[in-house]
Amino acid sequence: MPNLSIEDEIYMLIAYKRTNISALARRMGINRQNFQKKIYNNTLKKEDLCKIAKILGGKYVSYFSFPDGVTIGDVTPAPKAKKIPKQPAPHSPTS
């Protein structure tokens, strides 16, 4: 995947979670206009990104990785998605 801007990632996240800027801003505790300015001006802090992820049920992960295996930053792996068991098909009553 090509390098995406934080702005692109936020809009992809919003689409993925089937929400919108207004709803996310409200849950962040700021108004929509200020939230959009932060996104557009690329002034979101790491704490903001972590809060967005938490609000939407995810985790924001950011770290530096080097060829010798050294990593610096938040290297905690994201939680694995839970598998949803299949529901049996409903039985239709027989006449």
Per-residue pLDDT at 63:
82
What is the pTM for the complete model shown? 0.69
Per-residue pLDDT at 73:
83
User: What average pLDDT values come out for the chain (95 residues) when binned by 10 residues?
Assistant: 83 94 95 95 93 93 88 66 57 58
How far is the C-alpha of 13 from the C-alpha of 18, rounded, in Å? Answer: 8
In order of start, what are the domains of the chain with their CATH numbers?
Answer: 6-73 (1.10.260)
Per-residue pLDDT at 64:
85
Instruction: Tell me which amino acid residue 34 is.
Output: N
